């Protein structure tokens, strides 16, 4: 969907209101070429991803708001022609399910080939509807298993997807944040775990599993491709000092080959302490 929104936003033949709405959706994506991705930028992206509504800064449009605006403009311009596409064979992403490891779908390229008149707008309308439905699935997957309202005293899991542009490549980073229940002892720190997955053409699917208890930090980095795993393993010794420079206490730092849940025993490539 992001690839088509970027293509429409850059198409001077499209109506200006439509281009503006598409540009707002594209602006939601992380784009290292436009703004370097640091901790502040990443936090803002998580807060405005359209899943964690209570954390969205007051008055800040989130992804849901921007997608809804784009959908409204598309539906208004297409009018009676805004019918579902027949024989839509696009790759369908896996459904986000509470408890699953994060999984990143393959990236898509922003095509430079011109579409048939109205074809891009029709396709983008269907994709925008799908993106809004997926946000609802992510919100449902982030609710407590018993359906009760979130409670800071109880453990929680939040699933967030953030769009990202790398040149002409459009992809999505899937994050899963796990929070331990509030400790009964006031001075005992609460444990957090962050997992993410990213899939880009040059590397394949990569991700990390990061656990933090107080300042103590443990990291497992993984890659689906053998060559990518070896490249990351060679750079892994740099991670410990980088964590320490930010006030964290590096614990076990590991590199594994294979997606979480499918990692074969004995495939540990590197470990630094």
Instruction: For residues 119-140, give the mean pLDDT.
Output: 91
209 lies in a domain?
A: no
Q: Which residue has 């009676």 as its token pair?
A: 80
Instruction: For residues 128-146, give the mean pLDDT.
Output: 87
170 lies in a domain?
A: no
67 lies in a domain?
A: yes
Question: Which residue segment(s) compose the domain that 78 sits in?
Answer: 2-150
Closest alpha carbon to 46 in 62, 31, 58, 27: 62
Phi, psi of 65 (to 5 degrees): -60, -45
Q: How confident is the model at residue 150 (pLDDT cuts 50, 70, 90)?
A: low
Give DSSP secondary structure letters for 192-208.
EEEEEEEEETTTEEEEE
As a whole-number percent, the residues of the chain with pLDDT over 70 amount to 82
Domain tally, the chain: 1
Q: Estimate to the nearest angstrom the gap between the alpha carbon of 260 and the chain centroid.
A: 17
Q: Which of 174-183, 185-194, 258-267 bottoms out in mean pLDDT, i.e. has the lowest? A: 258-267
pLDDT at 148 over 70: no
Q: Which residue has 């503006």 as its token pair?
A: 20
228 lies in a domain?
A: no
Helix axes 16-27, 2-9, angle to 10 degrees: 130
16 lies in a domain?
A: yes
As a whole-number percent, the residues of the chain with pLDDT over 90 amount to 53
- Output the pTM of the full model: 0.84
Q: How confident is the model at residue 74 (pLDDT cuts 50, 70, 90)?
A: very high
69 lies in a domain?
A: yes
58 lies in a domain?
A: yes
Instruction: For residues 228-251, give the mean pLDDT.
Output: 94
65 lies in a domain?
A: yes
């Amino acid at each position: 969907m992001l690839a088509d929104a970027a293509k429409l936003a850059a198409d001077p033949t499209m109506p200006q209101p439509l281009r503006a709405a598409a540009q707002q959706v594209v602006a939601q994506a992380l784009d290292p070429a436009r703004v370097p991705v640091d901790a502040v930028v990443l936090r803002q992206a998580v807060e405005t991803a359209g899943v964690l509504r209570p954390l969205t800064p007051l008055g800040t449009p989130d992804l849901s708001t921007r997608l809804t605006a784009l959908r409204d403009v598309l539906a208004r311009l297409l009018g009676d022609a805004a019918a579902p596409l027949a024989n839509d064979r696009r790759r369908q992403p896996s459904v986000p399910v509470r408890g699953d490891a994060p999984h990143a779908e393959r990236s898509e390229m922003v095509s430079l080939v011109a579409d048939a008149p109205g074809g891009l707008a029709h396709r983008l309308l269907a994709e925008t509807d799908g993106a809004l439905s997926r946000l609802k699935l992510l919100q449902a997957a982030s609710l407590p298993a018993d359906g009760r309202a979130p409670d800071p005293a109880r453990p929680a899991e939040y699933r967030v997807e953030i769009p990202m542009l790398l040149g002409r490549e459009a992809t999505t980073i899937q994050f899963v944040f796990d929070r331990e229940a509030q400790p009964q002892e006031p001075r005992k720190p609460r444990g957090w775990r962050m997992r993410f997955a990213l899939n880009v053409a040059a590397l394949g699917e990569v991700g990390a599993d990061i656990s933090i208890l107080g300042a103590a930090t443990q990291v497992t980095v993984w890659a689906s491709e053998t060559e990518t795993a070896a490249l990351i393993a060679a750079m892994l010794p740099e991670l410990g000092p980088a964590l320490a420079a930010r006030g964290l206490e590096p614990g076990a730092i590991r590199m594994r080959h294979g997606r979480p849940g499918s990692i074969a025993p004995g495939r540990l490539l590197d470990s630094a302490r």
